[in-house]
Structure 1
Amino acid sequence: MSIPVVRAETFYLPPPARHPEDWSQIPPAQRVFRWAEHRQQRRLVPPAGFILGQQAFARINHNRWVADCLCGSAQVVTPADPRMACTECGLGWIRLVFPEDVAAVEASVAGLLPHERNWWHDDDPAWDRPAAAEDEDQELVALVAETAAAAGLVVGTPRSSLSPAIEEASR
């Protein structure tokens, strides 16, 4: 059984002393305000309207759907209610961009360990988005081969196929 990707409606839950369904009537994107109020012990009022023309990209980060605020804060979000407002800086509601096929994206990371489940939208210019893995791998392979060749080493061969000088040194 696979561990599902965490969404706002399963992350932002009432305190243990309250019934789990106590927040069921609160839209998932607004639950972060109730959750933060309880944990930070300060009153937070969700904004009244949307900021037109602003959007953020949702991504999977360590098995959680998250989105970043312009201030650098982030929160767990959900495709069931694709909007967010910041509990830190007070930024009003902004639209979130999720992939067209959320289930397919979640399925694409399901085979990984939860802490390795990361996904970015193709259009997301995020600062922490890794370079294409294939490009990095090819560059690393080329660098290792070049360095090994300069040192007279054979790379990627079984020990018995190493150069005689290396075999002699390893005895």
Structure 2
Amino acid sequence: MLIPVVRAEAFYQPPPHQPADAWALVPPAERVFRWVELRQQRRLEPPEGFVLGHQLYARINHNRWVADCPCGSAQVVTPTDPRLACTECGAGWFRLVFPEDPEAAEVEVADDLPHERNWWHPDDPSWDRPVQQPADPQIEEPVVTSLLGGGRA
């Protein structure tokens, strides 16, 4: 049985004493505010407007769609409601960038174990890994010489 990549609408669920569909009319990006209110026992209001000129990149991290706020906080997000408002700093709504085909990104990692399912948007400047180049069989492996003996290792 395939374990699906977790999205906000599946992660942010009402508590067990409420009906499973109690938050069905709450947009997925806003459910985090209800979820945090329940767990931290503090009232939160979603912000009114968008932060203009900024966009954040969504990624799959350990089998969850997540995005990072510039303040350092992060949330589970969803391509069905591509926006994020931080419950920590309250900066406003950020537009999220997902791949053109989120399902294709999910399929790309589907064969990995859930904790190894990671995918980064290729345009995300936070992705600090170099692009993987295919191995060229014509290039020989470098010869490592010993500093002490000068011979081959």
1:53 aligns with 2:53: yes
- Equivalent position of 2:40 in the other structure: 40
**Retained in 1: the 8 A contact 2:8–2:76?**
yes
Q: More helix per residue: 1 or 2?
A: 1
Percent of aligned pairs with the same amino acid: 62
SS in 1 for 2:144: helix
Count residues in correspondence. Answer: 147
Asked if 1:76 is matched to 2:49, the reply is: no
Aligned to 1:169: none
Q: Check the 8 A contact 1:120/1:129 in 2, yes or no.
A: no
Deviation, 1:36, is 0.4
Cα shift readout 1:60-114 (whole Å, capped 9, x = no counterpart): 0000000000100000000000000000001100100000011111100001001
Aligned partner of 1:96 in structure 2 is 96
Q: Distance in 1 between matches of 2:97 and 2:118?
A: 16
RMSD over aligned CA atoms reads 2.1
**2:144 is equivalent to residue 147 of structure 1:** yes
For residues 34-76 of structure 1, the C-alpha deviation after alignment (integer angstroms, 9 at most, x for no partner) is: 0000001101100011122111000000000000001000000
**Larger of the two Rg values belongs to structure:** 1
Runs of at least 5 residues in structure 1 that lack an aligned partner in the other structure: 154-171
Contact residue 143 and residue 152 of structure 2 kept, 8 A: no
Give the drift of 1:129. Answer: 3.6
Kindly indicate whether residue 119 of structure 2 is the aligned counterpart of residue 122 of structure 1: no
**Distance between the aligned counterparts of 2:4 and 2:120, measured in 1?**
17
Structure 2 segments unaligned to the other structure (5+ residues): none
> Match of 1:147, SS?
coil
TM-score normalised over the length of structure 1: 0.79
Contact 1:33 1:87 in 2 (8 A): yes
TM-score after normalising by structure 2: 0.87
What is the rounded CA distance, in whole Å, between the counterparts of 1:56 and 1:101 in structure 2? Answer: 17
